[in-house]
Structure 1
Amino acid sequence: MSASENVDQDLIRKDAGTKTVRGKRSGAVKFGGNALPLALVTFAIVAFLALTQPNFASYQNINSILFGVSIEFLAIIGFTYVMVMREIDLSVGSVFALTGTLTGALLINDWSLFTAAVVALGAAGLVGLLNGLLVVRFGINSLMLTIGTMLLVRGLSNVLANDLGGRTYPREFRSLARTDLFDTRVTIVIMVVMVLLAWVFQRRFGLYRKMCFVGENMKSAAVHGIHVGRIKVLAFVASAMTAGLGGIFTASRITHADVRMGLGLEFVMVTAAIIGGASLYGGRGDLRGSALGLLLLAVVLNGMIMFDIEPVFQQFVIGALLIATVTFDTFFNRRAS
C-alpha cells in the first residue's frame, strides 16, 4: 500500500483520543447534509413569494436573482475551502473590488481584455499568497490578518476608483458579464458546472478529506504526513483568485468604477457558507450548500424589496442572520465536543 493510501486510511481511523474525519463534526460524513433541507426551505420561500408577489416569478426577476448569485458564487468557491480548514478570509470583498477595478483601469489604458484580466487575477493571487504565507509561516490569526488585508486592499481599490473618476469601461469589458451561453448568462452556466465539479471533488478526491482532517486537527494531520502549510497557502490563493474572478464580472456588470463595490461581501460569504454547512470550527463545508446559502439570502432580500421594505433594513437582516448562524454553529460544535 502506498504512503498516500496509508494517509487516506488513517483519515478514517481514530487518532489517539482525537476526533477523526469521520467523527461527530466530520465534513466527509456530513457532506451534503444541509443541501436537501436548505433546498426545501429556499423552495418554500420562493413559493410563498411567487404566490404573494406576482412580479417575483417573472423571468426577468428570476434571471436577475440567479445572475447576481452566480457572480457572488465565484467569490465563495475558494472561501468555502478556507473555512473547511478552520481559517477565514475576510479580505475577499476588497480583493473582489480591487481586481475588477484594476481590470477596468488597465482596459481604459488600452490593454487587451485578456492581459488586463490575467494581471488583475495575478494581483489577487499575490494577496492570497501573502495571507497564506503569513498564516502558515508566522501562525498569525487569519481573522485578524485578513481584516488588515481587507483594509489595505480596500484602500488601494478606492484610490484606483477615485483616479478613474467614474469613467465608463470599454464596451468589450461591459459586454463580458452579459455574454450568453446556451441562451443563459455565462456566469450561471459556470456556477452549475462548478457545483457539479465540487460534488465530484468532495465525494471522490482524497484532497478534500485531507482538508477536512486539517480543519479537525491540524497537528494530527501533520503527523499523518499531510502537507498542511502547502494546502492552506493554496486555499488562500484560490480564495483570493476566485473572489477576483467574481470582481471582474461585477465590474463588467456595473460598467464603471465604484468605491462601494464588494462592500460587506465578506459577511455575506460567511453567512452563506455557514448556512450551507461550513463551520467556523473547520472540518466541514459544502460548495453546494454555499451556493444554496447565497440563493436563500438573495431570495430573502429580493422578497423584502417586493414588500417595499426599506433597503437599509437589508443590512439588519444580513447581520441578524450572521449572528444566528454563528450562534448555531458555536452551539452545535460545543455539543459535538
Structure 2
Amino acid sequence: MSMTQPAGVAEHRPGPAARRRGWLAGNGFGANILPLAVITLAVALFLALTRENFATGSNISSILFGVSIEFLAIIGFTYVMVMREIDLSVGSVFALTGMLTGALLVADWPFWPAALVALVVAAAIGFVNGFLVVRFQINSLMLTIGTMLLVRGLANVLANALGGQTYPRAFRQFARTDLFDIRITIVVMVAAVVAAWWFQRRMGLFRKMCFIGENPRSAVVHGIRVGRIKIAAFVASAVTAGIAGIFTASRITHADNQMGMGLEFVMVTAAIIGGASLYGGKGDLRGSALGLLLLALVLNGMIMYDIEPVFQQFVIGALLIATVAFDTLVNRRTK
C-alpha cells in the first residue's frame, strides 16, 4: 500500500483535520462513560445489598486484581478496533507469552531477559498480523483466527513440555507485587486510564486512528500513514496481551493449557460495551475498562448466587451476541 501523498492534496489538509476534531465532538466522544459507570455502580450496589460476602475487602480486591490484568490485554486491542480491524489472537498470545516466560525461568534464565524475549516473540506475532493485513489486505478477522490457532498450538506444546512444573518462587510473587499496599497491576490500570483520557483528547494520533476507522481510503489520500499506524496497533495489541499473560502466568504459578481460552471474546464484548465498534471510527479505553469491570461483577455475582460456573460461558456468549447485534444496528447505517 502506498503511503505517498498525492500531489495537490496539501491545501485540503485543514479539512480532514477539522473532520477529525469534529468526530470527537459530533459523535459524542466519551458520552457513554457516565451511563456505563452508573450501570456498573448499580450492579455493584445490588450485589453489596443482596450478598453480604460481596463487599468484603478480599472479594473487591480479587475482582479489581483480575480486571486489572485483563485490562493490560485490552489496551492495544481497543485501538485495533478503533481502526476497523480485530485481533482474535490475543488470548493465544497471552498464553504463549506467559508460558514462554515461565519456561525460560524454569531453564534458569533471569526474569527480565526471559520476559523481554517472550515480549519480543509477542511483538513479532503482532507485526506479522499487521503486515499481512496491510500488505495483502487480508481480512483481520480470518487472519487472526488462523494466528490464534497456530499460536495456541505453540502454547500447548510449551505446556506439555513443562509437564505441570511450578514456576520459580520469585516469579510466582511477581503478580503479587504491591505499590503503596495496592497490587501494582491495579495502580497501572488507574494510571493507564488517566493516560488514555489525555491521549484520546489531546493527541493527533488518536484522531488519525479514528479517521482511519471511519474512512481508510480517504485517510491515505490525506497523507495519513495508514499502514504504519495499523501495524503499530497490532504490535501493541500483541505486546499488551503478552504483558497481561506474564502477570497471569505468575498468578497461576504453573503452565496451564487453558490459560487465555476465550479471552478474545471477553475483549470484544468489553470493548463494545465500552463504546468501541466493529465498524471502526470510535473506541475509548476508559469504556473498555468499565466494560471489563461490569463483566467481572456479573460473573462474580453469579458465583455469589451459586450459579454453576459452566453457565458463565453462556452469559459471556449471550452478552457477546447482544453487544454485536446492537453495534451492528446502531453503526451499520452510518458506514
TM-score by length of 2: 0.95
Map of 2:299 onto structure 1: 301
Q: Distance in 2 between matches of 1:263 and 1:75?
A: 13
Question: SS at 1:101's partner residue?
Answer: helix
Q: 1:12 aligns with which of 15, 18, 25?
A: 18
Question: SS at 2:231's partner residue?
Answer: helix
User: Where do residues 178-189 of structure 1 align in structure 2 (5 Å cutoff)?
Assistant: 178-189=176-187
Aligned CA distance change for structure 1 residues 333 and 284 (closer, same or farther; 3 Å) = same
Deviation at 1:336, TM superposition (A): 3.2
Question: SS at 2:153's partner residue?
Answer: helix
Q: Is the 8 A contact 2:134 2:227 kept in 1?
A: yes
Deviations 1:225-244 (A, max 9, x none): 00000000000000000000
Map of 2:280 onto structure 1: 282
Deviation at 1:81, TM superposition (A): 0.2
User: Where do residues 149-164 of structure 1 align in structure 2 (5 Å cutoff)?
Assistant: 149-164=147-162
Gaps of 5+ in 1: 14-19
Question: SS at 1:12's partner residue?
Answer: helix
User: Where do residues 36-115 of structure 1 align in structure 2 (5 Å cutoff)?
Assistant: 36-115=34-113
Q: Does 1:22 align with 2:22?
A: yes
Deviations 1:71-91 (A, max 9, x none): 000000000000000000000
Question: SS at 1:151's partner residue?
Answer: helix
Q: Is the 8 A contact 1:84 1:285 kept in 2?
A: yes
Q: Is the 8 A contact 1:11 1:213 kept in 2?
A: no
Gaps of 5+ in 2: 1-8
Deviation at 1:334, TM superposition (A): 3.0
Deviation at 1:21, TM superposition (A): 6.5
Map of 1:16 onto structure 2: none
Q: Is the 8 A contact 1:30 1:284 kept in 2?
A: no
Q: Distance in 2 between matches of 1:190 and 1:165?
A: 32
Q: Is the 8 A contact 1:28 1:212 kept in 2?
A: no
Aligned CA distance change for structure 1 residues 163 and 4 (closer, same or farther; 3 Å) = farther
Q: Distance in 2 between matches of 1:251 and 1:8?
A: 48
Q: Is the 8 A contact 1:213 1:283 kept in 2?
A: yes
Q: Distance in 1 between matches of 2:278 and 2:143?
A: 16
Q: Distance in 2 between matches of 1:175 and 1:181?
A: 13
Return the letter of the residue paired with 2:259: M
TM-score by length of 1: 0.94
Q: Give percent identity, aligned residues only.
A: 74
Deviation at 1:147, TM superposition (A): 0.1
Q: Is the 8 A contact 2:279 2:332 kept in 1?
A: no
Map of 1:17 onto structure 2: none
Q: Distance in 2 between matches of 1:292 and 1:28?
A: 23
Aligned CA distance change for structure 1 residues 216 and 106 (closer, same or farther; 3 Å) = same
Structure 1 vs Structure 2 CA RMSD: 1.6
Deviations 1:53-72 (A, max 9, x none): 00000000000000000000
Q: Does 1:204 align with 2:215?
A: no
Q: Distance in 1 between matches of 2:167 and 2:15?
A: 53
Deviation at 1:8, TM superposition (A): 6.2
Q: Distance in 2 between matches of 1:51 and 1:5?
A: 61
Q: Distance in 1 between matches of 2:187 and 2:29?
A: 23
Return the letter of the residue paired with 1:56: F
Q: Distance in 2 between matches of 1:90 and 1:258?
A: 20
Q: Distance in 2 between matches of 1:162 and 1:170?
A: 18
Deviations 1:152-191 (A, max 9, x none): 0000000001100010000111010000001100000000
Q: Is the 8 A contact 1:71 1:246 kept in 2?
A: yes
Map of 2:316 onto structure 1: 318
Deviation at 1:6, TM superposition (A): 7.1
Aligned CA distance change for structure 1 residues 8 and 46 (closer, same or farther; 3 Å) = farther
Q: Is the 8 A contact 2:78 2:285 kept in 1?
A: yes
Q: Distance in 2 between matches of 1:262 and 1:91?
A: 10
Q: Does 1:133 align with 2:124?
A: no
* Length, aligned pairs only: 327
Question: SS at 1:11's partner residue?
Answer: helix
Q: Distance in 1 between matches of 2:91 and 2:334?
A: 32
